[in-house]
Amino acid sequence: MVDTNATGTFLVSQAAARQMIARGTGGAIVNTASVAGLFGAPPQVLRAAGYHASKGAVIALTRQLATEWAGHNIRVNAIAPGFFPSRMTEAVIGRSEEKMQTDVPLGRLGRPGELKGAALFLASAAASYVTGQVLVVDGGATAW
């Protein structure tokens, strides 16, 4: 889990930054974190300490790389999705969907396509003064 989420994110970010630095034009990197990197989860819903730790590492990495690469005009941000249906979340949602939905102010889980706008914003010129940030996309679950 840590190799895939934390080390993998570092290696891909590093490779992208090398290309951006070589071109001299800067750019934007958008990492995929998770609300799991910001908060714990009720153990009756999810027991995944390795996942939580690895996504917390992605958040810390994103912030640090933003400071290190800002001088090259490279912005580094992350999106932090809440629960979205996927192969990885299928079992958890199957066990706890009703509780999960009541924990979200919008009253539902994420839907396909609802992460695109956040990622596009962070990658676009509209976010030219945004770096080192984590944009949470969770239907308000972390607003409680």
Separation between Cα atoms, residue 35 and residue 45, nearest integer Å: 14
Separation between Cα atoms, residue 30 and residue 118, nearest integer Å: 10
Which one from 33, 37, 51, 138 is the annotated catalytic residue?
A: 51
> In this structure, are strands 74-81 and 27-32 parallel, antiparallel, or unpaired?
parallel
Phi, psi of 29 (to 5 degrees): -120, 130
Is the sign of the CA dihedral 74, 132, 31, 105 positive or negative? negative
Six token digits for residue 118 = 């956040």
| Side-chain half-sphere exposure of 59, counting CA atoms within 13 A | 20
129 is catalytic: no
Phi, psi of 114 (to 5 degrees): -80, -5
The residues assigned a catalytic role are 51
